[in-house]
């Protein structure tokens, strides 16, 4: 495993970071608790020291399982990253910005973006309790809330830093303009954004800005929710309540399948899987600090961790990029 400093902080994170969205169950067709806990243990055993989660993942379940999984382990050797700002339990009293209706066991649950000072503090306290810890390494705003001044949200996180409840403050899904506005109040450590071989929009302006300002980039959805593993093309049947049934329709699937077939020989030559090749390529892109990779069981977790066990030379990277240009 490789480790990188996050932005301008002293946080050292594992380049492959455990992404804990899927183990929350909601929107992913469910998951078994013991499998989820085993996947966390396997990650830690194979050098993945960083875990990224959020209260919204499973409506608190993801954080609770992480807290259970790390209980009794050396907390100083684990970096916990979580978020705030998506409210589903009505505690926002109708305030904030309506985001979407989530589904939980057939029920529709309205989710709001809400990042007021009081809500930041409330959610941080609840996350600390669910995670079973007295500090969070990186607290991130989950999505921008257009009803709350950015300065108010940043002031709340700065207060939590001063109190020792969080080590660093980050954001997610922020534009360059939003990062600039936030920097007037607080220098954020990182921005967590979607990035993959099929979604490279951040390369235009966010990556140059982040490199210039020493702002870390945490990448989510590098596998495009499993599409780039190639498994979908071998067994395309997903559970009916799996959100990916609709998500995958945005891509030209025949071209994606052809691309994966074209780069698979590189993976085979490395003794690696397609998913490992995709993760390794992503980790090598300019500005990328760490790459989130989800796992539903121990086997998947180990495969993700081992993506850092090989290198890609310039010729191999060029071949991959040339094939990407055909999509």
Question: E-assigned strands of the chain?
Answer: 3-5, 12-14, 16-19, 50-52, 79-84, 86-87, 97-104, 107-113, 136-141, 166-172, 190-194, 216-220, 288-294
What is the helix (H) or strand (E) element at residue 34, kind and residue range? helix 33-45
Give the span between the Cα atoms of 220 and 167, in whole angstroms. 21
Give the span between the Cα atoms of 234 and 101, in whole angstroms. 32
| 258 falls within a domain | no
| 268 falls within a domain | no
Tell me the residue range of the domain where 103 lies. 3-250+275-311
Per-residue confidence band for 241, with pLDDT thresholds at 50, 70 and 90: low
Pick from 182, 195, 197: nearest CA to 290: 195
Give catalytic status of residue 57 as yes or no.
Answer: yes
Return mean pLDDT, the chain.
Answer: 92
Give the span between the Cα atoms of 5 and 235, in whole angstroms. 38
Query: Taking residues 187-211, what's their average pLDDT?
Result: 97
| 324 falls within a domain | no
| 109 falls within a domain | yes
Query: Taking residues 212-222, what's their average pLDDT?
Result: 97
The pLDDT assigned to 260 comes to 93
Domain tally, the chain: 1
The pLDDT assigned to 25 comes to 56
The catalytic residue among 18, 57, 220, 232 is 57
Is 217's pLDDT higher than 60?
yes
Per-residue DSSP letter, 2: -
3-class secondary structure, 187: coil
| 265 falls within a domain | no
| 64 falls within a domain | yes
| Structure-block tokens of residue 279 | 């993760």
| 257 falls within a domain | no
Burial tier of 322 (Cβ tally within 10 Å: 0-12, 13-18, 19+): exposed
pTM surpassing 0.85? yes
Give the span between the Cα atoms of 188 and 179, in whole angstroms. 8
Give the span between the Cα atoms of 154 and 72, in whole angstroms. 32
Query: Taking residues 179-192, what's their average pLDDT?
Result: 98
Measuring CA to CA, how many Å separate 250 from each of 227, 233, 247?
Answer: 12, 15, 6
| 35 falls within a domain | yes
The pLDDT assigned to 24 comes to 65
Q: Can you give the CATH number for the domain in which 83 is found?
A: 3.20.20.100
Least confidently predicted of 46-60, 97-111, 154-168, 242-256: 242-256
Pick from 229, 227, 223: nearest CA to 194: 223
Least confidently predicted of 71-80, 131-140, 292-301: 292-301
Half-sphere exposure of 219 (CA within 13 A, CB side): 33
């Amino acid at each position: 495993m490789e480790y990188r400093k996050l932005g301008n902080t002293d946080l050292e994170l594992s380049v492959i970071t455990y992404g804990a969205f899927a183990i929350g169950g909601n929107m992913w067709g469910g998951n078994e608790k013991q499998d989820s806990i085993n996947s966390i243990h396997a990650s830690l055993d194979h050098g993945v020291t960083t875990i990224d989660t959020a209260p919204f993942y499973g409506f608190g379940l993801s954080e609770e399982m992480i807290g259970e999984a790390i209980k009794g382990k050396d907390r100083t050797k684990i970096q916990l990253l979580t978020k705030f700002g998506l409210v589903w339990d009505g505690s926002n009293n109708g305030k904030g910005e309506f985001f979407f209706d989530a589904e939980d066991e057939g029920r529709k649950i309205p989710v709001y973006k809400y990042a007021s000072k009081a809500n930041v503090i409330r959610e941080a306290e609840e996350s600390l309790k669910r995670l079973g810890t007295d500090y969070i390494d990186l607290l991130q705003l989950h999505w921008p809330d257009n009803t709350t001044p950015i300065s108010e949200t940043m002031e709340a996180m700065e207060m939590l830093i001063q109190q020792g409840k969080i080590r660093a403050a980050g954001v997610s899904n922020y534009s360059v303009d939003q990062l600039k506005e936030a920097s007037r109040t607080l220098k954020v450590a990182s921005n967590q954004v979607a990035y993959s071989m099929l979604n490279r929009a951040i390369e235009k302006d966010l990556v140059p800005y982040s490199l210039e300002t020493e702002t870390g980039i945490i990448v989510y959805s590098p596998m495009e929710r499993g599409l780039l593993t190639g498994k979908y093309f071998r067994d395309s049947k997903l559970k009916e309540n799996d959100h990916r049934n609709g998500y995958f329709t945005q891509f030209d699937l025949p071209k994606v399948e052809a691309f994966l077939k074209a780069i698979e020989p590189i993976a085979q030559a490395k003794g690696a899987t397609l998913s490992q090749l995709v993760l390794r390529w992503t980790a090598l892109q300019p500005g990328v600090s760490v790459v989130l990779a989800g796992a539903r069981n121990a086997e998947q977790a180990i495969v993700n961790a081992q993506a850092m066990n090989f290198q890609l030379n310039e010729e191999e990277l060029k071949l991959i990029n040339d094939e990407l240009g055909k999509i």
